[in-house]
Amino acid sequence: MRDIRLETAALDTNAALDALAAATPDSGGIASFIGKVRAGGVEALELTHYQPLTLPAMEELADAATARFDLQGLVMVHRIGEFAPAEPIVLVAAAARHRRSAIEAVDFCMDHLKSAAWFWKREKRGGSWHWIEPREADYSDRARWEE
């Protein structure tokens, strides 16, 4: 099972996880990560992307993760648009025969999603919009997967 997509509608994380579990009954484990808009001063978050590159790049990332971690299923859903605090904006879930592969696959995908230039983020604080750049830690997190 593979569900790689961009979404403008609300993200039903439970339905996506249930679908992955139903499609991979012989997996030994499913790991997931749900990223959401931080509360605490953030009034809104906006995610935009470069249409011709984003989804194909996500598909390539899914191919790499599936091969590297021998996955039985992968869900990678990233929202685009404007969001309020606490709204989910990304879901990555992996099913594999063994838990370590599922956990590492989710970590691998998130490290690449956080530091690759497919999405542009800006947040609204105090009534003003500010661009958010990847942090140095985001790049070093991704670099640890290079072999």
The pLDDT tens digits of the residues spanning 49-88 come to: 988 999 999 999 999 999 999 999 999 999 999 999 999 9
pTM (2 decimals)?
0.94
Return d(Cα 45, Cα 102) in angstroms, integer: 29
CATH number, domain of 122, equals 3.90.1170.40
CB contact at 8 A, 37 and 89: yes
What is the pLDDT, as a whole number, of residue 51? 85
Overall number of domains in the chain: 1
Domain hosting residue 43, numbered range: 2-143
At 99-118, the pLDDT tens digits run: 999 999 999 999 999 887 68
